[in-house]
Amino acid sequence: MNTITSEAPTPFPTVYGPVKSWRYGRSLGIDPIGAISTCSFNCVYCQLGEIEYRTDQRQIFVPTATIIKDLQRFAPWDVDVITLSGSGEPTLAANLGEIITEIQKLTQKPVIVLTNGTLLGDPAVCQALQSAQEVAVKLDATYSDQLTRINRPLSELDWAEIYTGIEQFRSFYPGKLSLQTMILSPWQKAQQQIYCHIVRKIQPDTIQLNTPTRPKPLMRQLDGRGNHTPGESRSYPVHHLKSVSSDVLQGLAAMIQQETGVSTRIAPQPS
């Protein structure tokens, strides 16, 4: 994939935002997956709704030329970062490396990739991510049963292999690596200890803790890619999820940072 083909843009918006991110400031979103939500997970809290197509097989979903053409319309890119996430797992896009390179050439902006980590053990994915300024990896589970319950992965995905892939990726990746962890209920002491052990092994640059504050659409919703105001009404059915208090998040963050030495932040909670 050394050339970018000239393709007409699709009706599906591959660039969206800017999105106000508590982690990254003003972020312009890039969707390399396209109209059908596609992921190797189907997380219980996914803001996109139920994932329409689950796979761990990489392919080109959206031509790079389409994304770059859509991105040109947002010039001069008055944002802090450009983030690859969108309608599922961005590392499934076989043209991921080309997308990152062409975005950087065009905008001169830092590129962040949000990933669930399931493909980080793939050498092709590892290579594609090398030029990204930051990779933010989802790590919600500290054992297999929890992965099944929260992230609902493809049956062939194994928690230990995912974790090993993240650890291996860390050893090769020169950019900033962050862990993003969703807390759905208070953690017991044993889980806290396992998580801290994992953090010490991976040695991320930062940790970001969150809890579900947005209801989950029952079906795929395109506006799940962007911002929502707390309490905002929806025109579609949603499921309200369990979350933990700001005090619980703060206490967990303080413990993790003390035990691991890794800077740990929590998402701002609705008042």
**pLDDT per position as a tens digit, 64-76:** 999 999 999 999 9
Q: 198 in a domain, yes or no?
A: yes
CATH number at residue 99: 3.20.20.70
Name the one residue in this structure whose structure tokens are 């997380």. 43
Q: What is the pLDDT of residue 19?
A: 85
Q: What is the pLDDT of residue 24?
A: 87
Two tokens at 194? 């396992």
pLDDT exceeds cutoff 80 at 228: no
Average pLDDT over residues 105-130: 97
Span 18-27, average pLDDT:
86
Confidence tier at 10 by pLDDT (50, 70, 90)? low
Provide the edge-to-edge strand list for the sheet that holds 15-21: 15-21, 25-30, 81-84, 111-115, 134-138, 176-182, 206-210, 263-266
For range 55-62, the mean pLDDT:
97
The C-alpha atoms of residue 142 and residue 239 are separated, in whole angstroms, by 25
Among the listed residues 186, 182, 187, the one whose alpha carbon sits nearest the alpha carbon of residue 207: 182
| Domain assignment of residue 179, yes or no | yes
- End-to-end CA, the chain: 48
Does some domain include residue 131? yes
Q: Are 45 and 182 in contact (CB under 8 A)?
A: yes
Which tokens in the block code for residue 51? 């994932």
Tell me if 9 is assigned to some domain.
no
Provide mean pLDDT across the span 178-192: 95
Helices 96-107, 64-72: crossing angle, 10 deg rounding: 20
Does residue 10 fall inside a structural domain? no
> What pLDDT score does 7 carry?
45
At 201-224, the pLDDT tens digits run 999 999 999 998 877 766 666 666
Residue at token pair 């504050």? 213
The mean per-residue pLDDT over the stretch 37-41 comes to: 96
What pLDDT does residue 81 have? 96
Q: Please state the domain count of the chain.
A: 1
Whether pLDDT at 83 is above 80: yes
Please check the confidence at residue 247 and state whether its pLDDT lies above 50: yes
- Pairing status of strand 134-138 against strand 111-115: parallel
Average pLDDT over residues 107-135: 97
2 within a domain of the structure (yes/no): no
Query: In the predicted model, what is the mean pLDDT of residues 81-108?
Result: 96
Distance CA 228, CA 99 (A): 27
DSSP codes joined into one string, 136-162? EEE---SSHHHHHHHT---TT--HHHH
Q: Could you tell me the residue range of the domain that residue 245 belongs to? A: 15-266
* Confidence band of 5 (pLDDT split at 50, 70, 90): very low
Residue 5 lies in a domain: no
The reported pLDDT for the residue numbered 268 is 82
| Residue 230, in any domain of the structure | yes
Query: What is the model's pLDDT at position 11?
Result: 74
